[in-house]
Amino acid sequence: MLGGLAIGQTRITGLLEGEDVLATAAAMQALGASVERQDDGAWLVQGVGVGGLAEPADVLNMGNAGTGARLLMGLIASHPITAFFTGDGSLRRRPMARVTTPLALCGAQFFAREGGRLPLAVVGAKAAVAIDYRLPVASAQVKSAILLAGLNSAGTTRVTEPEATRDHTERMLRHFGASVVRTELDGVGVIELQGEAVLRGADVLVPADPSSAAFPMAAALLVPGSDVTLTDLCLNPGRIGLIQTLREMGADLAVENAREENGEPIGDVRVRYTKLHGVTVPADRAPSMIDEYPVLAAIAATASGKTHMPGIGELRVKESDRLAAMATGLGQCGVDVDANADSLTVHGADHVIGNGRSGQAIKTDLDHRIAMAFAVLGLTARDGVKVDDAAPIATSFPDFVPLMRSLGADIRIGVAADA
């Protein structure tokens, strides 16, 4: 997105070529940017400059890319163009009002289905004004959408967040030349971006995604004798909540070769099999690991004692109701679980039975992280674990199955799949 708004060429290496990323790249092409994959795997983006987005000739189909859709709405909101968004069945169920409500403050108009859901039309502002907005709930997506709208707005865009959220967007904006400053007073953060910005094309090395790395990390912890090193992993302080939690659970986990790329801290993480114990995860840690709770719940199923995860109501409005999906699926696998509106408690056991020999597969509800979390649990379950649909995994981690197989996992895809 930022390369598409920059002047000149942006070269991206290390890009995760999942369906979400490809849908976002296609949308940027429809908005006038040149986006091409090179034979060596690098991606080249020729930008149109801030203010230079073109009106797309067709509907922008974002597939399952919730982050892509919400952030693109921010980009478009401050440009005088009209665009239409749709997505797959899962994305069309997700609420967009949390983004469209603040974005309307810049002068944009949004027309959506009941509940602010896709399909949705954006009519960008003809002369966008800067937004000053206090986040009612911690959300890096909302914050990022507002900041992206601020790039083509007059004045200083300001976002106040009572609870710190991941700051990848701020770091990347600075990398492309935008003026972004964060101040903090009494634990409340204020991010300010100077509008009518000029971005310059830049080289970008994308660090490995902690949310994707969580799955082989979990597998290494659960399967006796495992020793796995994950290279070039993003260690942004706003993304290491799972690592902090696993260490508290007793995980044998070490960070090696720590360094910085594009303003982001990265390093290699070595993980070895460990018998873990349950913990209470602080509620204020949720923003730093919100996407990792499904796999944490799978890990907790084999930990001694109980693992209590409060303050995770946000999981109910992800690609699926992830809190309910994990509670139901774990129950099918013989795991004792307590769930309410915004918390999940998993009572660990020495042995998880699994559902691989039963007739009812776990319902993933088009959610890639639910599918992967139960696939990992299946590696240690007595009867294996069977899920109903592995196809959604490609949205974020297209190489999940071959990677896990290369590490020794027995994952079978088909009508009679056992895991």
Q: Tell me, yes or no, whether 98 and 133 share the same domain.
A: yes
pLDDT of residue 186: 84
First to last CA, the chain: 36
Q: Residue 158's pLDDT band (boundaries 50, 70, 90)?
A: very high
In a domain, 273, yes or no: yes
Q: For residue 150, give the nearest of 100, 106, 189 by alpha carbon.
A: 106
Is the peptide bond preceding residue 207 cis, with omega within 30 degrees of 0?
no
Sign of the alpha-carbon dihedral angle for 103, 107, 112, 116: positive
pLDDT for 419 beyond 80: no
* Stretch 248-261: mean pLDDT: 95
In a domain, 254, yes or no: yes
* Stretch 335-361: mean pLDDT: 93
Q: Residue 174's pLDDT band (boundaries 50, 70, 90)?
A: very high
pLDDT for 201 beyond 60: yes
pLDDT for 385 beyond 80: yes
pLDDT of residue 418: 40
Residue with tokens 């129950």: 331
pLDDT for 145 beyond 90: yes
Q: Tell me, yes or no, whether 192 and 247 share the same domain.
A: no
For residue range 11-65, list pLDDT tens digits in order.
999 998 989 999 999 999 999 999 999 999 999 999 999 999 999 999 999 999 9
pLDDT of residue 128: 97
Q: Tell me, yes or no, whether 16 and 141 share the same domain.
A: yes
Q: Tell me, yes or no, whether 162 and 38 share the same domain.
A: yes
Helix (H, G, I), strand (E, B) or coil at 277: strand
pLDDT of residue 414: 74
Q: Tell me, yes or no, whether 221 and 271 share the same domain.
A: yes
Q: Tell me, yes or no, whether 116 and 166 share the same domain.
A: yes
Distance CA(100)–CA(326), nearest Å, equals 29
pLDDT of residue 4: 98
Q: Tell me, yes or no, whether 121 and 77 share the same domain.
A: yes
In a domain, 411, yes or no: no
- For the record, the structure tokens of 221 come out as 């912890």
Q: What percent of the chain has pLDDT over 70?
A: 99
Q: What residues make up the domain containing 51? A: 2-205
Judge whether 342 counts as a catalytic residue. no
Q: Which of 88, 167, 291, 365 is catalytic?
A: 291
Q: Tell me, yes or no, whether 134 and 263 share the same domain.
A: no
pLDDT of residue 163: 87
- Residue after which a domain boundary falls, among 156, 171, 205: 205
In a domain, 120, yes or no: yes
| Burial (CB count within 10 angstroms: exposed 0-12, middle 13-18, buried 19+), residue 198 | middle
pLDDT of residue 183: 96
* Stretch 344-363: mean pLDDT: 92
pLDDT for 229 beyond 90: yes
The residues near 76 (Cβ < 8 Å, ≥ 6 apart) are 31, 53, 83, 108, 122, 124
H-helix segments, 135-238: 140-150, 168-175, 210-222
Q: Residue 192's pLDDT band (boundaries 50, 70, 90)?
A: very high
CATH number of the domain encompassing residue 149: 3.65.10.10
Q: In what order do the strands lie in the sheet with 336-339?
A: 306-310, 343-347, 336-339
| Lowest pLDDT segment from 224-228, 316-320, 347-351 | 316-320
Q: Tell me, yes or no, whether 269 and 180 share the same domain.
A: no
Q: Residue 416's pLDDT band (boundaries 50, 70, 90)?
A: very low
Please, what is the average pLDDT of the chain?
95
Q: Residue 417's pLDDT band (boundaries 50, 70, 90)?
A: very low
For residue range 210-219, list pLDDT tens digits in order.
999 999 999 9
* Stretch 190-219: mean pLDDT: 96
pLDDT for 114 beyond 50: yes
